Chain A
């Protein structure tokens, strides 16, 4: 168990390093001079050169990367070109907004998708279920930015119930959450259905039914209990992916999270800020994934961590 956790932490650090390195190299290969964004209008070449020297951009990519790693081990991921502040600080300010949005979205998803999926499984291959089935297909077929815009047109512009953009009050979170949840509900409810159909037809359920156990207990305690692992895994993976930035939804709603931050940082070629965001969000997503994996033995005593995956 301890070995397994240590091994996984090692993998996590390696993956985070891989992501950071890839982004680091890609950024520096990309065209567009960051110095030009931070120089006064119509800069002289001397001014540009001074800025490049100040940020260390005049060195070769391997040298820049080594310097970056050196600073990283001292807990310094660099200073944002744009905000002129430590990049980590800027990311940490935005992170709570993304985490809040991701938590809200995953809670709504679980609360709606699990009962919906169970309902579909219990009525598998009926006309009603076909309707729900097609509805979930439609739910995963709409572009998420478009759902966002339509919700904005209806609820913010025409009805005026919610504020159109940004984070102005607690109710601002409703529309972005719904936008994310629609797609996730469609995906997760289909997974729940698939797992439940298998378990509802399993022989152990016939045995349990013959013992006179109520349908409710059969469905939830027996069949769903055995479907829980793939469902929790999927919810965890989705949640981890959201921490990497619900980029599009954040841009649509001008939500002040890390996704919106990183898209703007990309436009401004704010290298340290992009790196800090990638590092923090990738690490966070990997930690969530690790926690989900550690939950398995609690849900299913047959699972022994580290043996199957070794």
Chain B
């Protein structure tokens, strides 16, 4: 007692400026709660802004046949190379007098159909392979994991170009090629989630009830991870649209005169030097608007799913 050195256990409430001495109304829990509330609000903003961006592109594209548009393939040569905002041609025309707005909307149908089909295929394959690898483990996991690794180390774009050269640039081939490029993503995340999920008590309960392994995976495990996987698959739609336009740009897209987005930009590339900037710029803005929209919606949804699952990050 008497030997206690001054300063060894100072009374913290006497130290000027110390926060330890007085109780603050703002606690760590409150701070965390307010951060969560802000995060929730921002994820809502992201989802709405994204939905508006994507809707601005998807709706007109879906309605391209109904809207009063000039023919996308046959143009009037008297109206060649009009700049945007010309009478009757909001986006202008190309050197063949074809209306750019009409071409972008009709091309968008091809691009979107390919994108949606590709993510359906890659999503199904990825979820099935990932769930099997995660649930069964052992040699199934070994095969799936090695395939995923092998694909990562291959020069992917070159392979895709080769396959398109081999089977011809038709819609099914390009769809499958894009699906092939994309299946690792849903497979990897499904595998990781199923690895956690299979240890949970309800899986053991289902097993005790004598359910078949396949029906445990399909009816019990997958529905519990599906929400998180679907967000990833939705984000893949953005990648699929970008990949399709990149393939078209390199000449491995659906053949002209059927216009797709990448093809339209590729056609315009030799012309922007002569001042016809809109043929390249406008289709790119349309692609970017759609992809930004899909990415924002996906990102916002991911924040929400994470929160629902109680993840602190």
Interface residues of chain A, those whose CB is within 8 Å of chain B, are: 15, 18-19, 22-23, 26-27, 29-32, 124-126, 130, 133-134, 137-138, 140-146, 149-150, 152-153, 157, 164, 194, 197-198, 201, 244-245, 247-248, 251-252, 262-263, 266-267, 274, 278, 281-282, 285-286, 289
Q: What are 22 A-to-B residue pairs whose CB atoms are below 8 Å?
A: A15-B150, A23-B158, A30-B166, A32-B165, A125-B35, A130-B45, A130-B46, A134-B46, A137-B296, A141-B238, A141-B295, A143-B288, A146-B265, A146-B280, A146-B287, A152-B272, A198-B313, A201-B312, A266-B161, A274-B158, A282-B154, A289-B153
Q: Does B281 contact A (CB under 8 A)?
A: yes
Taking the closest CB of chain B, its distance from the CB of A103, in whole angstroms, is: 19
Contacts A130-B42, A143-B262, A194-B313 given: A278-B287 contact, CB under 8 Å?
no
Q: Which size bracket describes the interface of B in this complex?
A: 35 or more
| A150 and chain B: residue at smallest CB distance | B281
Q: Does B250 contact A (CB under 8 A)?
A: yes
Are A247 and B162 in contact, CB atoms less than 8 angstroms apart?
no
Give CA–CA (A191, B168) in the complex, Å.
38
Question: Majority SS of interface residues in chain A?
Answer: helix
Instruction: Pick the 10 closest A-B CB pairs, nearest first.
Output: A146-B284, A141-B291, A141-B292, A244-B155, A30-B166, A125-B38, A142-B288, A26-B162, A149-B280, A15-B153
Give CA–CA (A263, B251) in the complex, Å.
10
| A240 and chain B: residue at smallest CB distance | B153
Q: Does B246 contact A (CB under 8 A)?
A: yes
Taking the closest CB of chain A, its distance from the CB of B268, in whole angstroms, is: 8
Are B296 and A134 in contact, CB atoms less than 8 angstroms apart?
yes
Are B269 and A149 in contact, CB atoms less than 8 angstroms apart?
yes
Q: Which of these, B49, B153, B249, B275, contacts A248 with CB under 8 Å?
A: B249
Q: Which of these, A149, A244, A262, contacts B265 with CB under 8 Å?
A: A149
Q: Which of these, A30, A138, A262, A286, contacts B158 with CB under 8 Å?
A: A262
Are A29 and B166 in contact, CB atoms less than 8 angstroms apart?
yes
Taking the closest CB of chain A, its distance from the CB of B19, in whole angstroms, is: 11
| B279 and chain A: residue at smallest CB distance | A149
Q: Which residues of B contact A252 (CB under 8 A)?
A: 269
Q: Which residues of B contact A152 (CB under 8 A)?
A: 272
